[in-house]
Structure 1
Amino acid sequence: MLVMKAGAAKVRLDELTFSPDGTGLFAPALSAGLCHWPAYKAGANSDVLVLPAKVVKRLAFTPDGRTLYAGSDQLCAFDLGSRTGTVAAIPKWAALWFGVSPDGRRLVVAETPQGAEGTRLTLWATDALDAPVREVTSTSLVYSALQFPASDRFLLLEGTLLPDRRWEYRRVTRSAETGEVLERSDPLPDDPDQMVLSPDGLTVACRTRNVLRIYPSSGGWGTVPKVANDGKQHFTGVAYHPSGRVLAATSNDKTVKFYDPASGQLSRSFTWDIGRMRSVCFSPDGLLAAAGSDTGKVVVWDADV
């Protein structure tokens, strides 16, 4: 186990990801740009990469690892080889979620423009960011990063305000070519604020405060595995191991826990003395796990799954 630090001051590591080849670790650094750990050494400070996007909260790699999409109110494609970025032609002050298809051809962006109610979905060719190839609008709001079970479709966690002022949340499958709805699930029993897709594409894990539920990624559901956190502390981040055998979750109780996604049973628990844990991820080969905290520290250890 080793502990590293963000090179930017006062950064809470709400998102953390390995590069597709596993040789680097990255985290958004808000107005400072992007934290990059090119090697895993105890006590190492990250490099800080300055990006054209003014604020970086979210990240998405292309499958080949050459380009990293990053942003929040703006979105840029950052070439890691040349260390240069291109800003997509998206209006400023739009809250963005985005994702890249497994074949690397399509970038899908979900945005809620300032002052608007609803979501604008734009579909882009990854080699042309001057204008989207298609645009679709929806009255729902998007609450989590886009997930791609295949290159021709993606999943969203969408919330809709009902006439009685209650919010209703559904898993929605859309076409990556047109953005049109292919499937809309029955309402979820709660109001999750994160959804992650399993490596085999068959299930999604949804995080709601101190509960995790694991749903099928398509069709209906019968008995849904449920994980309740010890005590009342909230889960803060969720990630599947590449094998699909483990679901990892960070929590405000300063722990990282490993669960069996089939049964929801706790298999291992780790306590790292680096603050409240905010994010977790696995290296693509599954050998390493990493978790970020609210103090700007990140711990890397052998996953041993």
Structure 2
Amino acid sequence: MLVLKTASAEVLDLAFSPDSRAVAAAVDGAHVFLWNLDSPNIAPVRLDLGGKYRAGGLRFSATGRRLEWQLATGYRVYDRDERDATNEYPSFLTTATVWKVGPAGDRIVSSHGMPDHFLAGWQFKDGDWVRQWVLSTRELSVESVTISPSGDRFAMLTRPAAPGRWWDQPMRLEVRDLSSSAGLSDGTYPYSYAGKLWFRPTGAAVVGIHGMTLLSWSLPAGGAPRLTRNDNRKHFTALAYHPNGRRLFVTSNDETVNEFDADTLDRTNRYTWQLDRLSAIAVSPDGSLAAAGSATGDVVVWDLE
């Protein structure tokens, strides 16, 4: 077990490099920190955020030589070989209220508000972002957009945005094709406000967090989610799958990481770290390591094998 120090603020996101030899942490209002875990004297590279950080967008490129994170109207790219960072601002993101990047970095789903209200899918082709589809959201409220690890689908929570008390309308899960926006699956959502969503690596499920409850929708069936409540009164805060898709790690609003069987949602293990409440988690691509970040800036890295 290794504890890495950042700043005295909440760790918002964690990411491992593809070779599992580096880990990065985005810290609220501070910096992005990058560690080489093979170094005999592990010290972080401290990277300026470069703008207002948008949570959920920290990722390494497929080669691991670039570290990227989302900003309010674009993204920042750090080249680990050149040791230089640049900001990129695709013009269509200046009007986006929400946007998500696919795992390969060449697809984006963006949500836009006034005056047009639409959801759009983009693909990077021949050096530019090309719009693939547009879905009107003038009468649809969209939240919690997420893209599958395979990059072929996206999920979101929606409800009618008709005049009146639209916020009282029931929400539902929608899963759509990323290349065309065609509907693939849908499910019920038993709460009045949206929680976070993730895809299972195998594509067999979408999971979500709402307060003290873990939700899981089987795909492509959709329908009603399976619900699993925490065994204390602490809220779940973040989750990450083992790359084999069979183990699910969920941080709680205390010092614990709960491990669940991804098929049954039965709790199979619990890790307790003396790091204040936990707020972020990641599992290395080779499945050998996990990392969890705390509300006070500490990151714990431990062996899973």
The TM-score range, normalised by the shorter chain, is: 0.7 to 0.9
Distance 1:40 1:95 in 2: 39
- Supply the AA of the counterpart residue of 2:248: L
SS, match of residue 214 in structure 2:
strand
Q: Determine the C-alpha separation between the residues in 2 that align with 1:116 and 1:70.
A: 28
Q: Would you say 1:49 and 2:50 are equivalent positions? A: no
Measure, in 1, the Cα distance between the counterparts of 2:118 and 2:9: 28
Which whole-Å CA distance do the structure 2 matches of 1:171 and 1:117 have between them? 23
Query: Is 1:75 aligned to residue 74 of structure 2?
Result: yes
Q: Does 1:138 align with 2:137?
A: yes
> In structure 2, how many angstroms separate the alpha carbons of the residues matched to 1:76 and 1:10?
24
Contact 1:53 1:75 in 2 (8 A): no
CA contact (8 A) 2:238 2:252 kept: yes
Label 1:292 to 1:42 Cα distance change in 2 as closer, same or farther (>3 A): farther
TM-score w.r.t. length of structure 1: 0.83
| Paired-residue identity, % | 27
Task: Say what the alpha-carbon RMSD is for the aligned residues.
Answer: 3.0
Q: Structure 1 300/193 Cα, relative in aligned 2: closer, same or farther at 3 Å?
A: same
The one-letter code matched in structure 1 to 2:252 is S
Aligned match of 1:298 = 299
Q: Higher mean Cα deviation, 155-164 or 78-87?
A: 155-164
CA shift in 2, pair 1:50/1:132, >3 Å? farther
Check if 1:249 corresponds to 2:245: no
Q: Distance in 2 between matches of 1:106 and 1:235?
A: 31
Rounded to whole Å, the distance in 1 between the matches of 2:227 and 2:300 is 27
Measured after TM superposition, the shift of residue 194 of structure 1 is: 1.1
Shift of 1:201: 0.9
Structure 2 Cα separation of the partners of residues 109 and 268 of structure 1: 35
Map 1:105-254 to 2 at 5 A.
106-113=106-113, 118-125=117-124, 128-129=127-128, 131-134=129-132, 136=134, 137-139=136-138, 140-144=140-144, 146-148=146-148, 150-161=150-161, 163-165=164-166, 166-178=168-180, 180-190=181-191, 191-221=193-223, 224-254=225-255
**Does residue 89 of the first structure (1) align with residue 88 of the second (2)?**
no
Distance 1:34 1:128, change over 3 A: farther
What is the Cα deviation at residue 92 of structure 1? 4.0
Q: Is the 8 A contact 2:196 2:209 kept in 1?
A: yes
Matched-pair contact (CA < 8 Å) for 1:206–1:214:
yes
Q: Greater strand share, 1 or 2?
A: 2
* CA distance 1:76–1:49, shift in 2 (3 Å): same
Matched letter for residue 153 of structure 1: R
Kept in 2, the 8 Å contact 1:5–1:298? The answer is yes
Q: Is the 8 A contact 1:234 1:251 kept in 2?
A: yes
Tell me, yes or no, if structure 1 residue 265 matches structure 2 residue 263: no
> Quick one: which amino acid aligns to residue 73 of structure 1?
A
The residue type paired with residue 214 of structure 2 is L
SS of equivalent to 1:133: strand
Check whether the contact 2:100–2:147 (CA below 8 A) recurs between aligned residues.
Answer: no
Asked if structure 1 preserves the Cα contact closer than 8 Å seen for 2:250 and 2:257, the reply is yes
CA shift at 1:267, angstroms?
1.0
After superposition, what is the alpha-carbon deviation per residue over 1:18-43, rounded to whole angstroms, capped at 9, x for unaligned? 12221211222345442212226799
Contact 2:175–2:184 (CA<8 Å) still a contact in 1? yes
Cα distance change of structure 1 residues 44 and 68 upon mapping to structure 2, 3 Å threshold:
closer
**TM-score normalised by structure 2 residue count:** 0.83
SS in 2 for 1:219: coil
Question: Which region of structure 1 is more displaced relative to structure 2, 28-37 or 245-254?
Answer: 28-37
Check whether the contact 2:237–2:253 (CA below 8 A) recurs between aligned residues: yes
Cα deviation, 1:173-222, whole Å, max 9, x if unaligned, reads 333333x2323513222244111111211111111110001111322346
Q: Which residue does 1:34 correspond to in 2?
A: 32
Residue 62 of structure 1 deviates from its aligned partner by: 3.7
Q: Is the 8 A contact 1:156 1:173 kept in 2?
A: yes
Residue ranges of structure 1 left out of the alignment (5+ in a row): none
1:116/1:95 CA distance change after superposition, 3 Å: same
